[in-house]
Structure formats: structure tokens, C-alpha cells
Amino acid sequence: MLLNMADILYDTIPSLDLEDFTSSDPVRKRNFVQQLGDAYNNIGFVAIRNHYLSDELSTRLYTIIKKFYALPDTVKQRYEIAGLAGQRGYIGKGKEHAKGRNTGDLKEFYHVGQEVLDNDPIKVEYPDNVWPQELPEFKEIALDVYKRLEKTGVQMLRAIALYLNLPENYFDDKVHHGNSILRPIHYFPIEDPDSVPADAVRAAEHGDINLITLLMGASADGLQVLRRDGKWIPITALPEQLVVNVGDMLERLTNKKLKSTIHRVVNPPRHLMNTPRYSIPFFMHPRSEMSLAALPSCVDASHPKLWEDITAGEFLNQRLREIGLKK
């Protein structure tokens, strides 16, 4: 009897080689696309090796963000700019919460966004990046990481397009100068666990807003993904790998053919609450004008259209309000 891949429950996330997709071998490429689709229909995450970000550059970014988060709160708060809805610069402790919750997550983070260097009119939509004066090397390192993850994301979206029977370059113009965000996160140590709300967690369960998320290895355990049978599975990015998952925008575009994966970052045991955790996701967003209306190929009598039409920009603003970053 043949097994349907959708019937298999993974305990770990599948690992794929991006060079299979970018090679000139059509069999390797086709197998990559099918394995990617199988994984996204099952556990919702994949680990990708042979991407465009080196471990050396990843280490450099982690080193510099640890220096930033070691600065006094009064210094970090200089880079929290009112009126930006948290889209650039520093976002303070407990400011963001998961959709449907009021208790802030036990984290602080920094946002680095798209830099438009030509005459693309989309530039007017993006605030300038904010760079900490205390760490002049932050800018060069962060932008280098941003571009390498963006390049990797383009290849992943090309594979997703083929899986959806779309032209391979379907997403290319939609993510060119897209509103993507690099987010170095600090899950700060809690010296007295009784000093925070009883229901406070490092990151409550949620789906990401964007098309796809690319995550380099975190500094400690804690990330868990909700498997479709209701079991939480721990996820760890191995050295030289990125973890890539589907976000809410792609779920909406595909009428839930590809499902945004619910995940969370759990608190460590009480005696380890005084230890920090660092993580750096890259949230790949399209341009604001991209329509998230369900693809016609993903709607039929058995799969009626689930959501009203909306643009990526409208959807992002809606979600920013829901998670407390925008009023």
C-alpha cells in the first residue's frame, strides 16, 4: 500500500538541500519541489542547507546584537522611534503580544527593513532604518545578512510557485523591494519569575504575518511547532541550516492549501528563567500592493474561498494593530 505523505507525522522537520533546486538537474529540482510541498502540507517547517548565509556572518550578527542588548535600557530606548509602529529600530520589552492575547511577550527586539537604493516609488512607503551609534558595525553586518536571506527567500518562493503550478518567477516582482523585516530578538532573563504575569511567555503561540519566515539557529532551545495532530514538536536549526516556514499571507493566497504554521517559544524551566535566549528571524513580505486574493487554482467546490480579498499592505496594518504595535 502506498503511503500518502500527508498521513505521515514527523517528529523532526525535514532537511532539504537548496542546491537541488538551483542545480541544472531537472530531477533534483522536481524532487526538491515535491519534498518541500509535502513538508509544508505536513509539519509546516523545513530546514534548508546550502543557502546564501554563511555561519561566519550569522555569528557576527549574533555577536553584535548581544552587545546591543547588553546596553542599558535607557540607551536602547533612544532607538525606539514613536510613530513607526515598531517597523524600524528598537521595540521595548513586552510591547508585542500574540493575536488574541493582552499579555506582552517576554522579549525585546530590533527591526531592520528594506533599503531602496534606486528610483522605485515604493521607497516613500518605508521609513529609514535606525542604527545604534554605539555599534557602528551593526549596519554593515545586518544589511549583508538581510540581502543574503532575501536572496534565499526568492529561491524558496520560486520552488513554492512551482509546487502551486504557477510560473517559477511568479513571486519575483511581488517581493522585489518587498516590505521584509530582519528581527534580532532578545528573550531577556527574568531574575524573579514571580515578578511577571503568570501567563507571560517568551512568545505565545502564533502564525507569522508574512509570506515565509527564514530563521537562523537560535542561541537556546524553546521553539516549538504545533503538529496537525495537536502535538507540540521542538524545532532546532542545526549549524549551516535555516528553518523556513509558511506565514499567514501565503496561507491566505493559497486558500489554506499551504497552512501557516502555529508555533511558540516556551519559557525555560523556572530555575533557568534567568538565562537569555537570542533568535533572528527574517520575515519575507511582498510589496504592499500585492493582492492576497485566493489563487483561482486553490478554490473549488470542495475548497470554497475562505477570506475576502485584501492587499498585503492592508493585511499587515490589520495585524500590526492586533498584536499591539499599531494603534
Q: What is the pLDDT of residues 175-226, one digit of tens each?
A: 999 999 999 999 999 989 888 888 888 988 999 999 999 998 876 788 898 8
- Count how many domains the chain has: 1
Three-class secondary structure of residue 126 per DSSP: coil
pLDDT tens for 298-327 read: 999 999 999 999 999 999 999 888 887 877
* Cβ neighbours around 1 below 10 Å, total: 3
Q: Give the burial class of 322: count Cβ atoms within 10 A of its Cβ; 0-12 exposed, 13-18 middle, 19 or more buried.
A: middle
Share of the chain above pLDDT 70, in %: 96
DSSP string, 180-205: -EE--EEE---S-GGGS-TT--SEEE
* Domain of 185, in residue numbers: 5-322
Q: Does 118 map to a domain?
A: yes
Q: What is the CATH number of the domain that holds 204?
A: 2.60.120.330
In a domain, 279, yes or no: yes
In a domain, 117, yes or no: yes
Q: Please report whether residue 202 resides in a domain.
A: yes
Burial (CB < 10 A; 0-12, 13-18, 19+), residue 3, is: exposed
User: pLDDT band at 10, cuts 50/70/90?
Assistant: low
Q: Is the residue at 327 inside a domain?
A: no
Mean pLDDT of 93-114: 91
Task: Say what the alpha-carbon torsion angle 201, 217, 63, 204 is, to the nearest 10 degrees.
Answer: -10
Beta-bridge mates of residue 277: 187
Q: Which residue has the cell 527564514?
A: 214
Helix (H) or strand (E) run with residue 263 in it: strand 263-265
pTM assigned to the model: 0.93
